[in-house]
Structure 1
Amino acid sequence: MSDAAPDEGSPDLPALREPDLPRTMKVRPKALRPGWTTGACAAAAAKAATTALLTGEPQTWTEIALPSGRRVTFATDRCDVSRPGRAEAVVVKDAGDDPDVTHGAHLTATVSWLPAGGIQLDGGVGVGVVTKPGLGLEVGGPAINPVPRSMIEASVAEALDAEAMRAGALSAEPRGLRVVISVPEGEVMARKTTNARLGILGGISILGTTGIVRPFSTAAWRASVEQAVSVLAAQAAETSQDPVLVLCTGGRTEKGAMLLFPDLPEVSFVEVGDFTGAALRRCVEHGVRRVVFVGMAGKLTKLGAGVLMTHYTRSKVDCSLLGEITRAVGGPADLAETVGAANTARHAYELWDAAGLLPVAGLELCRRVAAVLERFAAAECGGAISAEVAMVDFSGLEVVART
C-alpha cells in the first residue's frame, strides 16, 4: 500500500462496518418458496433405492430426516429394481425460487450389496472428484460434503433398520451396502460453478448443511468465498510459496485481474461479490498476507467508506466520499460539489474522466480502499495484511488506477 494512505490515527478515517445479511434479499408481495439441497435429494434417493432393494418393490416416495430432525417427504422420479442385487432411485432437485444451477438435477442413487457390513459411499457420473486440498474432503474422493454424507448414511441405515424391524429380528451377519450417487447432467452444470478452480473436477458437489435451500440467500456465496481462500492457502502450503489472493467483484473484473497478474495460478482469483470482510477473515486465519482487490468504482466507493459487506440492501454508494477525494486531489470546488451529488459512482467516474482527473482521483480512491482493508484485517480479524487495490473501467479489462 502507498505511504500516501491516511494515517490510522486520523479522525477522518471512516468507521468500519460489516452489516449482516438480510433474511431475504427483497421485499416481495408473496413469500419465496424454499427448495432442497443436493444433499437432501441424494439422501432421499439413497433411502428409496435401499428400500426398493430390501423389499423388491419400486418406491414412489420416501421420507428422510433433515439435520434439524424435521422429517420431509420426497417423490421419486424413477425407481428401478429390475436387476438382481441392485436398485436405483432418482429424485429431481427442486431449488424452489432460488436461482440455482442444479435446479432440476436428477440425483441418482444406485445401491447394491457388499459381502461385509457397513455402508460404502461413492461418487458416480456427474459428481465431482476432489483433486486439491483445502476443501475438508479427501483428495481423490467424491465431492460429497460432510453433512450430506451423514444424511445419506443415516437415511440408508434407517431403511435397513426399518426392514429389520419388519422382518422381526436383526440378521446375525448383516450385509453391507454400496451406495453410488450420480448426477447424469452434473458435468455440464459444473461448468457454471467455480468447482474446477477449486480442484473439483468432472461434476457438481453434493452440498448443504440444513437440507433446505433458502431462496436468494447469499450465504452460499459467502461460504464459497471462504472455501476458495482455504484452497489457495492449502495449495500454497504444499508448494512452500507465499500466496497472493486477488479479490474480484465479478466475472468482468476477474478477467481484468487475470490480465493484470498473468503469472498467478487460477486458484488465486476469487469472485468475492459482497463478502470482502469474510474473505479477509479467512485470509488472516490461513496466513495469507498479500491481498489485491480489483474492482469498479461502485464497490470501491463502498469499501473506501469502510463498508466491508457491500450488498445493496445493506449499503448504498455515498458519492460524498468521491466529492471529498475530488477536493483532495486539487479538483475545483464546483466539480467536487457535482461529484459529491452524483447519482451513482459511475456518474462520478465519468465526471472525473471528463475533467481529466480520473487517474489521480482513482489512485486516491484505491489508496483509501487499501487503507480500509489493512485496518479491517488488523482491527477486526487480528492480523496484518498488505493490500493493493486496482480500479478497472466498466469493461473490467482496463486498469484505470492502481496502488
Structure 2
Amino acid sequence: MSEKKVLRKGYTTGTHTVAAFRSCLDTFLITNSQTTTKTNKIDNDDLDVTKGCEIVVSLDFDIENFLLNPTFQKPQIFSCKTNSLEIYAGLGVGVVTKKGLKIQAPYPAINPAPLEAMQEYFEIKTKNKENLHLKCCVSVTNGQEIAKQTANLKVGVLEGISILGTTGIVKPVSSSAYIDSVKTEIEFAIQNNYETIYFTLGNSAFKVACSKANEEAIIEIGNFIYDSVELATKQNAKEVIFLCGIGKMTKVYQGFKNTHNRFGVIDFTKLQLDIKENLGYEVDIEATLTVKGISQELEKVGLLDAFYEMITKKANEQIKQWFKTSNVKAIILEQKEVLGW
C-alpha cells in the first residue's frame, strides 16, 4: 500500500507581505535610501489563485518614487512618538471603494492582521529614531490580472488583489481562500442591506440569479454548500436562496455537505427507492446512472415536475436539519419556470 501523501501547508499573502516589509525596513535603516524587497507566495495544496504570485514591498521618504494603484486612495498611517509610516497600495494591490469590508474606503485592501504586524515591527525597529517619516508601497506583480479571478471587483476592491490573512497559515485542501471569499461577499451583501442573498453553483445558476437580483447579492459558492449556508446563518442573513442544477441538489438532499466528486457520488439505489416511495414509480437505474437520464425517463411518464418537487423538498429538509433554520430556500435550476422564475 502506498503511503498517504502529506499535504503542504502554505502562508497567506499577509504573512508574505509582513516578511517582505520586515526585510525591507531592516535594509532601509542601514542604507537610509529607497529599498525594495520581493517575495513569492509559497505553493501549497490549497485552491488559491494567488499561489506563486510576487509580492513587492518598497520603502522611501517620498511616494513620488512609487507606482501606485491608479484608484484614488488614502494611506494607512501609523505614528509612533515622532516617527510615522504611511502604507499605500501599489500596482496590483486593490483599493477599497465600497462599504461592508474589513477595511474602509478609500484605503488599500490590506487586512487588519498584516497591517498590525507591519506597524508593530515599525515601532520596534524605530524606537530609538526621531522624526523618521517613511512611505511604504505594497505591490503585487500582475495583480490586476489575478484579481479578475476573484470577487474583488464585485465588492468594490479595484485594480488588484487583497492582502489577506488572520492566522497567517493556509491549510491544505481546506479551500480556505475560497471560503474566506464567500464569507467576505456575505458580509458585504448584508452590510449593503440586501434582504435576500443568492447562492449559486454553476454558470447557468449564476446567470439565472443575475436576472433576478443585483450581482452584489449573488455569491458563487462552488461546491461548499454546508460551509456557505453556515456562514450565512451565523451572520443572520435574512433570506438565502440557493440555486443549482438537479444533479448537485440531489447530492444535497442525500446529505453531502460538499458536492465535489471527491467527497462521494450519488446513491442511485436510495434515489430509486425514494422515487418509488414518493412518486409510486420505479425507475430503471440499470439503464442509466445519471440524474439527467432519470429525469428523462420520468418526463416520459409525466412525473418530471413531481420529481423536481421531491428533490427540492428533500434538499430543503436536509438544510433545515443541518441548521434548524427556515431562512434558506433551495431551488433547482430546472424548476425555475415552475416556481415563476
Q: Aligned pairs, how many?
A: 321
Quote the residue 1:17 is aligned against. Answer: none
* Aligned-partner SS, 1:196: coil
Is 2:322 aligned against 1:391?
A: no
Quote the residue 2:99 is aligned against. Answer: 133
Given the alignment, which residue of 85, 110, 128 partners 1:144?
110
Given the alignment, which residue of 110, 134, 147 partners 2:58?
110
Given the alignment, which residue of 86, 100, 118 partners 2:48?
100
Quote the residue 1:246 is aligned against. Answer: 198
Deviation at 1:191, TM superposition (A): 0.3
Given the alignment, which residue of 301, 304, 310 partners 2:250?
301
Query: In 1, Cα distance between the equivalents of 2:287 and 2:222?
Result: 26
Quote the residue 1:233 is aligned against. Answer: 190
Quote the residue 2:24 is aligned against. Answer: 49
Query: In 2, Cα distance between the equivalents of 1:331 and 1:401?
Result: 21
Deviation at 1:248, TM superposition (A): 1.0
* Aligned-partner SS, 1:231: helix
Given the alignment, which residue of 155, 180, 190 partners 1:223?
180
Is 2:327 aligned against 1:361?
A: no
Contact residue 95 and residue 213 of structure 1 kept, 8 A: no
Is 2:210 aligned against 1:210?
A: no
The higher-RCO structure (CA 8 Å, 6+ apart) is 1
**Cα 1:148/1:250, change in 2 over 3 Å:** farther
**Cα 1:182/1:391, change in 2 over 3 Å:** same
**Cα 1:326/1:204, change in 2 over 3 Å:** same
Q: Deviations over 1:354-386 (max 9, x none)?
A: 555333311221132233334544x2xxx5415
Deviation at 1:99, TM superposition (A): 4.3
* Aligned-partner SS, 1:280: helix
Q: Deviations over 1:149-182 (max 9, x none)?
A: 2233344445x26xx7xxxxx23x2524322211
Unaligned runs of 5+ in 2: 63-78
Q: Deviations over 1:274-306 (max 9, x none)?
A: 333333333334442222111122321122234
Deviates more, 1:177-186 or 1:96-105: 96-105
Deviation at 1:48, TM superposition (A): 2.1
Query: In 2, Cα distance between the equivalents of 1:38 and 1:157?
Result: 22
TM-score by length of 1: 0.69
Query: In 1, Cα distance between the equivalents of 2:231 and 2:286?
Result: 34
Deviation at 1:229, TM superposition (A): 1.2
Computed over aligned residues only, the root mean square deviation of the Cα atoms, in angstroms, reads: 3.1
**Cα 1:121/1:272, change in 2 over 3 Å:** same
Contact residue 46 and residue 176 of structure 2 kept, 8 A: no
Query: In 2, Cα distance between the equivalents of 1:346 and 1:44?
Result: 51
Contact residue 248 and residue 271 of structure 1 kept, 8 A: yes
Is 2:11 aligned against 1:33?
A: no
* Aligned-partner SS, 1:224: helix
- What residue identity is the alignment partner of 1:319? F
Query: In 1, Cα distance between the equivalents of 2:3 and 2:242?
Result: 33
Contact residue 46 and residue 172 of structure 2 kept, 8 A: yes
**Cα 1:93/1:306, change in 2 over 3 Å:** closer
Query: In 2, Cα distance between the equivalents of 1:155 and 1:105?
Result: 24
- What residue identity is the alignment partner of 2:23? A
Unaligned runs of 5+ in 1: 1-26, 57-83, 165-169, 237-241, 393-397
Quote the residue 1:201 is aligned against. Answer: 158
**Cα 1:300/1:33, change in 2 over 3 Å:** same
**Cα 1:341/1:222, change in 2 over 3 Å:** farther
% identical equivalent positions: 26
**Cα 1:339/1:331, change in 2 over 3 Å:** farther
TM-score by length of 2: 0.81
Deviation at 1:193, TM superposition (A): 0.9
